[in-house]
Amino acid sequence: MAFLLSIEICLNMFKLVSPFKITPTQKEAVDKLAAGLKKGYRHQTLLGITGCGKTFVMAHLIKKAGKPTLIMSPNKTLAAQLYEEFRGFFPENAVHYFVSYYDYYQPEAYIPQTDTYIKKDAKINKEIDRLRHQAVQSLLTRDDVIIIASVSAIYNLGSPQTFQKLKLLLKKGQKITKRGIMARLVDLQYERNDYRFEPGIFRIRADFIDVWESSGNYVYRIKNVAQKIEQLLKIEAPFGKKEPVQSVHFWPAKFWLTEKEKLNIALSNIRLELQERMRKLKKQEKILEAERLRRRTLYDLSLIKETGWCHGIENYSAHLEFRKKGDSPFTLLDYYLYPVKSAEGGASPLAKQFNRASEFLLFLDESHIGVSQVRGMYQGDKARKQVLVEHGFRLPSCLDNRPLKFEEFLKKIHQVVYVSATPAQFEKDRSSQVVEQLIRPTGLLDPDIELKTSKNQMLDVASQIQQRVAKDQRVLLTTLTKRLAEAVAKHLSDQGIKATFLHSEIKTLERPGILADLRRGKYDVLVGINLLREGLDLPEVSLILILDADKEGFLRDKTSLVQVMGRAARHLDGHIIMYADKATGSMQQAIKEVERRRRIQKEYNKKHHITPSPITKKVKLSLVSEKQEPKEEFAKEYLRELQERLDLAQRNLQFEKAALLQKQIKTTNDLEKSAAIGHNR
């Protein structure tokens, strides 16, 4: 009886909220996939055209399956879009965003031919880092978790067991000194900073210690008097409501930490590897390489011993996690496989009845790209690091800080649904069943296609855009290179057309904003390359212009062309123009497939008396960072902090920063005055 009750809880743990009703074709797809999961199928494919409601089908399948879910997307832009949609579908569940936290990343490398060492250079996006911590913490504390991730999900993240074990529990009435609290926070890699307050930072205020947790949701104020915790306050970050609590858990502020009692053993193992590697290098008469390796490694070890951290610590993760040579690294997938603990530290009710590994569901979105992406990550990483090892920049164990091999990835997943409008042969061959979904809920047809010569194409492009702008419709234009995308966008702007570009050099959190601006009408045309291919949900776009359609290659093969054309399938007037001087094999195959789908859709609409209708969808944008103004109760403290930062900026001659701080001080002062007037009234 208890087992049956647990199953019922599991199946009902996701609450789906949507103003839309599921259509018969969508329900049929959900039922087939759910039956496959029940039968134990490890691999299934959902072949769904653009606009058919694949995301809605996925949401219903998640609800029906009742399993913690990972959705992997091939790029950050699509991941952000899916995150917005699933947050809307499951407002009461834990929906998270997990992508690489680098805005800019230049990996460490060495070029032997020119004796050029390239130091690792990266700019970390703190907002994305905060979202990553939120995702991991949810996975370790609850079952109703949906994470939308990029390929970052298969990269080394550190041991979930260590991450869980190292968290700090503080309780009201607990006997502990202020210095003791600070020491434990430092062990968890929280930094003290009394001037700059943000996630992962703590500061001292008289008898208080303010700690901004690593996930960024809350600030905790700890009142410590006479070596005892007298009060714990939970404050909505950064300046929200506050409420007293009896206890609080602080999770590590960084990954790749090691328990103190094991750290010395790990450091000794690194030294032993260093000695062995130096002997081999000297035997090969690589004296320079041996000395270089000795200095670099000993410097890193001294930092880890003193502070518990060093830049590039992940290269020592095999030792810090006591993994054997060749063992797969810990990734986000391992956090799914790790037993859930309740807030009190015990196993969750569901964990007692189910093996977490068997309850883990994966969707590989746009799988025609995703599979190849996962397959190729390991070899590229290995090739770069092998050169560093050979020339004394890193120890051989750095090779174990890597993404998963494709075979390891397949072993770690229990059940996967490949989702694509154009699944590759791999997915079809692996899948126990391929579920097709070619009908859109609104009856919309795939766009019609027109071929035009490339002669005077830019004149025709401008003319076509102006016709669509006059109807308040949007246009996508695809090119083959980033520079060409920028040049075309500038050319159109010079002609008075509201145009901009989108490519991989645009910061992660800026991309959803650009797409939202296109939908709102700030731009009429968006010029891009790869990012305009898969999954973008832009119902206002009625026209796709494809330049150089006859240039055979990755960006102009059958799959790419079908995907690009799908971006106009959400509009009643969907139309494609390919500029080409000849019809390539890929073009012919893509046109044939789109025409096949149009024929099936027309027949279905005729049979069921359906008149195509446009898609309407609100513009949602929660990932773009918005500045929050402080509540009145924190305004004075916030003003004092801003003033201190302003003084520091002026002393360091940082005039631009000082100007921004002065603006913030003025805004806060105005807020305080308006609040005072309100009280007087």
Q: Is the dihedral of CA 309, 313, 317, 319 positive or negative?
A: negative
Nearest CA to 97 among 109, 107, 82?
A: 82
pLDDT greater than 60 at residue 387: yes
- For residue 26, how many other CB atoms are within 10 A of its CB? 22
pLDDT of 645 reads 73
pLDDT band at 3 (very low <50, low <70, confident <90, very high): very low
pLDDT greater than 80 at residue 620: no
pLDDT tens by residue, 305-314: 988 888 889 9
DSSP string, 58-80: HHHHHHHHT--EEEE-SSHHHHH
pLDDT of 631 reads 47
pLDDT tens by residue, 230-265: 999 999 887 778 899 999 999 999 988 888 888 999
* Lowest mean pLDDT segment, chosen from 282-291, 346-355, 585-594, 658-667: 346-355
- Asked if residue 476 lies in contact with residue 485, where contact means CB atoms within 8 angstroms, the answer is no
How much is the average pLDDT of 644-665?
A: 72
Q: Is 113 exposed, middle or buried (0-12, 13-18, 19+ CB in 10 A)?
A: exposed
- Asked if residue 67 lies in contact with residue 501, where contact means CB atoms within 8 angstroms, the answer is no
Q: Is 641 exposed, middle or buried (0-12, 13-18, 19+ CB in 10 A)?
A: middle
DSSP string, 339-359: PPB-TTSSBPHHHHHS-GGGG
pLDDT greater than 50 at residue 2: no
DSSP string, 293-338: HHHHHHHHHHHHHHHS--TTGGGGHHHHTTPPTTPPPP-HHHHHHS
Of 157 and 660, more confident: 157
How much is the average pLDDT of 25-53?
A: 94
pLDDT band at 206 (very low <50, low <70, confident <90, very high): confident
User: CA 584, 585, 588, 591: dihedral to nearest 10 degrees?
Assistant: -100
- Asked if residue 576 lies in contact with residue 565, where contact means CB atoms within 8 angstroms, the answer is yes
pLDDT of 289 reads 95
Written in H, E and C, the secondary structure of 190-234 is CEECCCCCCCCEEEEECCEEEEECCCCCEEEEEEEECCEEEEEEE
Share of the chain above pLDDT 90, in %: 65
How many angstroms separate the CA atoms of 311 and 330, rounded?
Answer: 19
pLDDT tens by residue, 266-307: 999 999 999 999 999 999 999 999 999 999 999 999 999 988
pLDDT of 680 reads 42
pLDDT greater than 60 at residue 512: yes
How many angstroms separate the CA atoms of 321 and 132, rounded?
Answer: 20
Q: Is 294 exposed, middle or buried (0-12, 13-18, 19+ CB in 10 A)?
A: middle
How many angstroms separate the CA atoms of 379 and 660, rounded?
Answer: 45
pLDDT tens by residue, 324-372: 998 999 999 999 988 876 545 555 444 444 455 457 899 999 999 999 9
pLDDT tens by residue, 114-167: 999 988 877 788 888 999 999 999 999 999 999 999 999 999 998 999 999 999
Query: What residue type is assigned to position 364 of the chain?
Result: L
How much is the average pLDDT of 636-655?
A: 68
- Asked if residue 642 lies in contact with residue 668, where contact means CB atoms within 8 angstroms, the answer is yes
The residue with tokens 């219903």 is 60
Q: Is the dihedral of CA 527, 532, 537, 542 positive or negative?
A: positive
Residue 403 three-state SS = coil
pLDDT band at 191 (very low <50, low <70, confident <90, very high): very high
| Token representation of residue 73 | 């997307």
Nearest CA to 94 among 134, 150, 34, 36?
A: 134
- Asked if residue 373 lies in contact with residue 151, where contact means CB atoms within 8 angstroms, the answer is yes
- Asked if residue 443 lies in contact with residue 492, where contact means CB atoms within 8 angstroms, the answer is no
pTM listed for this prediction: 0.80
